[in-house]
């Protein structure tokens, strides 16, 4: 059974192949050329946590591939009557869904689903664990603008502690040869950061010095314990990416953000909307990497994701 549960357990060849397939799908879509179809399967869209970008791009990816989707609303499902996640997954299995896309606030929920569902599961972001398709879309965006990831300095700035985007990107970028830096206040960098690839910097100017890419992260206030930040204003004064702070980075640095943005906090309008910003490309490329993910889990012609080490 093929799943896409995270980046950590993929090897460089699998990531390169997913990015190559994504780039091929993008060319076909923008040039209005034929796209291989997945017309036999139905994929369940299980979003237990809010989403704009990820949900719509999984829908658009399915649309381009001719793949049918079945929506699932957690709030109006029988989970509101106490049904467990495992029993919900088993129910959807016997409703004959062929695969599922899952976002959940609990780390590991898609892995649990993969153990019980019997079909492919794609992780659309779980807790503080991983957001593999976000990292793939980010990598595709960097490669389009910079040619290659090998040797690039990528500074991941902000709330690394709560960020599944930071984790998936740190794994992916390091596997593909980038120098990863984790930059933020001490309270928002994981204390076990040695388990994540990347050097830690608590000072913004040093952390983004000569960076080719500044990847800003959303302050995840909903996941923060009280007292983690003295104030959002103080965070912005020390870590905001703006015209001033961008001067420390490479003159042709890219500014990225996975969204949703806290505009005026993690970055200002100049950084978010200026010529260095790659944010709109990140959004659009999300569609093509999700096409590659669907095609790889549902067909024998996509990328070989068979080694699901995280299920062991």
Our CB check for ligand CP shows the closer of 9 and 103 to be 103
Burial track 224-237 (b if 16+ CB lie within 10 A, e otherwise):
eeeebbeeeeebbe
Tokens read off for 68: 């049918």
| Residue 242 binds ligand CP (CB under 6 A) | no
> What is the nearest approach in angstroms of ligand CP to the Cβ of residue 69?
16
Please state, in angstroms and rounded to a whole number, the distance separating the CA atoms of residues 229 and 265.
13
Which residue's CB is nearer to ligand CP, number 18 or number 124? 124
Which residues pair with residue 25 across a beta bridge?
none
What is the three-class DSSP state of 254? strand
| DSSP 8-state code for residue 246 | G
Q: By CB under 6 A, which span of 53-61, 76-84, 143-151, 219-227 interacts with ligand CP?
A: 53-61
From residue 248 to residue 277, what is the string marking binding to ligand CP with x (rule CB under 6 A)?
----------xxx-----------------
**Prior bond to 71 cis, omega within 30?**
no
Do the beta carbons of residue 265 and residue 233 sit within 8 Å? no
Q: Closest approach of Cβ 206 to ligand CP, in Å?
A: 27
CB of 30 or CB of 56, closer to ligand CP: 56
Strands (E), the chain: 42-47, 68-73, 99-104, 121-126, 153-157, 179-183, 199-201, 213-216, 254-256
Nearest approach in angstroms of CB 29 to ligand CP is 20
Residue 105 Cβ, how far from ligand CP at the closest point, in Å? Answer: 11
Q: Which residues pair with 73 in a beta bridge?
A: 47
285 part of the interface to ligand CP, by CB under 6 A:
no
Nearer to ligand CP, 6 or 125 (CB): 125
**Contact with ligand CP (CB under 6 A) among 52, 71, 73, 304:** 52
Each as own residue / partner, the long-range contacts of residues 115-120 (CB below 8 Å, 24 or more positions apart, any chain) are: 115/311, 116/86, 116/89, 116/90, 117/89, 117/90, 117/92, 117/93, 118/1, 118/93, 119/1, 119/93, 120/1, 120/2, 120/3, 120/4, 120/297, 120/298
Interface residue with ligand CP, options 14, 22, 41, 54 (CB under 6 A): 54
CA–CA gap between residue 74 and residue 47 (Å, rounded): 7
Our CB check for ligand CP shows the closer of 218 and 248 to be 218
- How far does the chain reach from its first CA to its final CA, in angstroms? 13
Site mask, ligand CP, residues 90-129, x = CB under 6 A? -----------------------------------x----
Cβ count within 10 A of residue 254: 24
> In whole angstroms, how close is the CB of 19 to ligand CP at the nearest point?
18
As measured in angstroms, the least distance from the Cβ of 57 to ligand CP is: 8
Total residues at the site for ligand CP (CB under 6 A)? 10
Q: Which of 111, 128, 134, 163 binds ligand CP (CB under 6 A)?
A: 134
Nearest approach in angstroms of CB 94 to ligand CP is: 29
| CB nearer to ligand CP: pick between 103 and 181 | 103
Residues that bind ligand CP (CB under 6 A): 51-55, 125, 134, 258-260
């Amino acid at each position: 059974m093929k799943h896409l549960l995270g980046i950590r357990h993929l090897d460089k060849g699998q990531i390169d192949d997913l990015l190559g397939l994504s780039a091929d799908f993008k060319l076909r879509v923008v040039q209005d050329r034929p796209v291989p179809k997945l017309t036999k399967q139905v994929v369940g869209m299980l979003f237990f946590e809010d989403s704009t970008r990820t949900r719509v791009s999984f829908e658009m990816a399915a649309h381009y591939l001719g793949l049918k989707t079945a929506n699932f609303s957690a709030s109006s499902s029988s989970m509101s009557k106490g049904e467990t996640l495992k029993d919900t997954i088993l129910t959807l299995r016997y409703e004959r869904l062929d695969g599922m896309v899952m976002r959940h606030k609990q780390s590991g929920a898609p892995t649990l689903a993969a153990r019980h569902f019997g079909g492919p599961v794609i992780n659309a972001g779980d807790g503080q664990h991983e957001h593999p398709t976000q990292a793939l879309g980010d990598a595709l965006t960097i490669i389009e603008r910079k040619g290659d990831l090998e040797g690039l300095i990528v500074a991941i700035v902000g709330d690394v502690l709560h960020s599944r985007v930071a984790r998936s990107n740190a794994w992916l970028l390091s596997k593909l040869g980038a120098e990863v830096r984790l930059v933020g206040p001490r309270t928002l960098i994981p204390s076990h950061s040695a388990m994540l690839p990347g050097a830690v910097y608590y000072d913004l100017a040093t952390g983004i010095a000569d960076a080719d890419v500044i990847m800003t992260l959303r302050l995840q206030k909903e996941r923060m314990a009280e007292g983690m930040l003295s104030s959002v204003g103080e965070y912005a004064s020390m870590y905001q990416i703006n015209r001033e702070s961008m001067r420390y980075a490479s003159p042709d640095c890219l500014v990225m953000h996975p969204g949703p943005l806290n505009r005026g906090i993690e970055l200002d309008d100049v950084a978010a909307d200026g010529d260095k910003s790659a944010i709109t490309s990140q959004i659009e490329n999300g569609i093509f990497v999700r096409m590659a993910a669907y095609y790889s889990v549902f067909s024998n012609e996509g990328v070989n994701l068979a080694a699901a080490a995280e299920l062991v």
